[in-house]
């Protein structure tokens, strides 16, 4: 069983993916982490995330411990991730790892849940269930703002909204594997839903497959 979950930033993909994986005994891969870790490596090397050669070299040099870093969930890294993810060589470098994870999930799990931007369209086009999770810009920014405020009470809502819109626009408009729903994806707009409701609806859909 392979479940693909795509959608824009802060739509609730990660929360849903983790809960489905726990409930169904599947392995979980946050594919965004691969791009964040690549972006972080580029920044640390003092290079420009839009420099295609530098970005691809860092994607190819990625090691398991890069994914375990605890400093990848900040704006600067999210933007760098979005920039490196538009480089075709970066996407090519990360493809095999994601497909292998889905085909032979670690820990002997009987399947996998992957979340990202192109899981249903490019990474696992044959996935058993594909979700495209969205919510209005304002709802997503409010959720992200609340989350960030727990670490930094001074974080400004307008900046969170702007950062998110900038990243989504870049992710949607890139030439390779842009953010878009697969033709056979099930769309869930979570604007008026809480995490429990999203999980219940998605589990219902998966159970009926």
By rule CB under 6 A, what count of residues binds ligand DC?
15
Element (H, E) at 6: strand 2-6
Residue 140 binds ligand DC (CB under 6 A): no
Compare residues 32 and 105 and give the one whose CB is closer to ligand DC.
Answer: 32
Residue 56 binds ligand DC (CB under 6 A): no
For residue 69, what are the contacts with CB-CB under 8 A and spacing of at least 6? Answer: 37, 40
Minimum distance between the CB of residue 33 and ligand DC, rounded to whole angstroms?
6
Q: What's the rounded Cα separation, in Å, for the pair 23 and 193?
A: 20
Q: Please name the residue that has the structure tokens 């972006």.
A: 39
Q: What's the rounded Cα separation, in Å, for the pair 36 and 38?
A: 5
Minimum distance between the CB of residue 119 and ligand DC, rounded to whole angstroms?
6
Among 167, 190, 198, 202, binds ligand DC (CB under 6 A): 167
Compare residues 176 and 186 and give the one whose CB is closer to ligand DC.
Answer: 176
Beta sheet of 186-189, edge-to-edge order: 27-30, 112-116, 2-6, 129-134, 186-189
Positions 74 through 103 that interact with ligand DC (CB under 6 A): 78, 81-82, 85
Positions 99 through 118 that interact with ligand DC (CB under 6 A): 116-118
Minimum distance between the CB of residue 137 and ligand DC, rounded to whole angstroms?
14
What region does 25 belong to: left with phi over 0, alpha with psi -120 to 50, or beta? Answer: left
The residue among 119, 135, 101, 130 whose CA lies nearest residue 179 is 119
Which one of the spans 31-39, 104-112, 126-134, 139-147 is the region binding ligand DC (CB under 6 A)?
A: 31-39
For the beta carbon of residue 200, count every other beta carbon within 10 angstroms. 13
Residue 171 binds ligand DC (CB under 6 A): yes
Q: Could you please report the per-residue DSSP string of 109-158?
A: -S-EEEEESSIIIII-TT-SEEEEEE--HHHHHHHHHHHHHTT-TT--HH
Residue 36 binds ligand DC (CB under 6 A): yes
Compare residues 65 and 207 and give the one whose CB is closer to ligand DC.
Answer: 65
Among 4, 5, 9, 127, binds ligand DC (CB under 6 A): 9
Q: What values do phi and psi take at 53, rounded to 5?
A: -65, -45
Compare residues 20 and 204 and give the one whose CB is closer to ligand DC.
Answer: 20
Where on the chain is the footprint of ligand DC (CB under 6 A)?
Answer: 9, 31-32, 35-36, 78, 81-82, 85, 116-119, 167, 171
């Amino acid at each position: 069983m392979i479940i693909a979950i795509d959608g824009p930033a802060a739509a609730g993909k990660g929360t849903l993916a983790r809960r489905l994986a726990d409930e169904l005994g599947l392995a979980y891969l946050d594919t965004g982490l691969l791009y964040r870790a690549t972006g972080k490596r580029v920044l640390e090397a003092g290079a420009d995330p839009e420099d295609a050669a530098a970005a691809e070299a860092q994607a190819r040099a990625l090691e398991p411990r890069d994914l375990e870093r605890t400093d990848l969930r900040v704006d600067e890294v999210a933007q760098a991730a979005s920039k490196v993810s538009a480089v075709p060589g970066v996407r090519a470098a990360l493809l095999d790892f994601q497909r292998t994870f889905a085909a032979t999930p670690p820990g002997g799990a009987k399947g996998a849940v992957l979340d990202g931007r192109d899981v249903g369209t490019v990474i696992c086009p044959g996935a058993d269930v594909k979700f495209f999770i969205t919510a209005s810009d304002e709802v997503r920014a409010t959720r992200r703002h609340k989350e960030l405020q727990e670490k930094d009470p001074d974080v400004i809502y307008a900046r969170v909204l702007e950062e998110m819109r900038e990243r989504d626009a870049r992710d949607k408009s890139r030439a390779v594997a842009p953010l878009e729903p697969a033709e056979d994806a099930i769309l869930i707009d979570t604007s008026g839903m809480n995490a429990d409701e999203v999980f219940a609806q998605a589990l219902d859909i998966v159970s009926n497959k």
